[in-house]
Amino acid sequence: MNQFMEWITQPWPWYVAGPMIGLTVPALLIVGNKSFGISSSLRHVCAACIPAGIPFFTYNWKKEMWNLLFVLGILIGGFIATSFLANPNEIVIAEQTQAELSAIGITDFSGLLPADIFNWENLFTAKGLLFFVVGGFLVGFGTRYAGGCTSGHAIMGISSLQWPSLVATIFFMIGGFLMTHVIMEPLMKLVGF
């Protein structure tokens, strides 16, 4: 049992995590003919809470309840993994990434998320505005405009051989590269890093 716990609390390698994520695709298809996709849940929340008569949100969201339960499950899974199966050691980050992030003002490399950015004290500051408000907005707006996110397009779409999903995934990456290499540093300076 101890050995098992030791093994399970280690960070899982990509060749365990990737196939497990991939298996979600047939699991959802087989248990209920559902297409793997997560960003749709944001749309269902809009439809359920703030439809405001907008045609895009006027549909029977109750029939998409499975998707809301699926994401609730992800939240609970996050809680279980962190509470009972947490890695006792600090996260290992590539040296060069650490060096580059230090150079733009990140000082905390102990947690899964840098405490310099992700804490409540930053909420009403320029840092919070950039990383929580602007960042979240881009994720919500972009995924819906694209009709899916990493799960719906990159994983479900590409694995069912749909080229529009490959196009979407390529543009996810282009956006991410541009933000990381060009826009992020000046933005971080601007918000006080």
Partner 1 sequence: MKVLEKKIKADVCDAPNSRIDHDKGHELIKYLIIGVVFGIVFVKAEIISWFRIQEMFRLQSFFMYGVIGSAIVTGLISIQLIKRLGIKTIHGEAINIPTKEFKKGQIIGGFIFGLGWALTGACPGPLFAQIGSGFTVIFITFLSAIAGTWVYGKFSDKLPN
Binders in 71-130 for partner 1, by CB under 8 A: 71-82, 85, 87, 91, 93-94, 96-97, 100-101, 109, 112-114, 117-120, 122-123, 128, 130
Query: Cα separation of 135 and 35, whole Å?
Result: 26
Q: Does 5 engage in binding with partner 1 (CB under 8 A)?
A: no
Q: What angle do CA 188, 122, 182 make, to 5 degrees?
A: 15
Q: Could you tell me if 9 and 85 are in contact, meaning their C-beta atoms sit under 8 angstroms apart?
A: yes
Q: Which two tokens stand for residue 161?
A: 């051989």
CB of 8 to partner 1, least distance (A): 8
CB of 68 to partner 1, least distance (A): 9
Encoded one letter per residue, x for contact with partner 1 by CB under 8 A and - for no contact, window 17-36 reads xxxxxxxxxxxxxxxxxxxx
Site for partner 1 in 123-182 (CB under 8 A): 123, 128, 130-165, 167-181
Query: Cα separation of 193 and 187, whole Å?
Result: 9
Half-sphere CA count of 175, side-chain side, radius 13 A: 13
CB of 107 to partner 1, least distance (A): 13
Count the site residues for partner 1 by CB under 8 A: 135
Which H or E run contains 161? none
CB of 2 to partner 1, least distance (A): 18
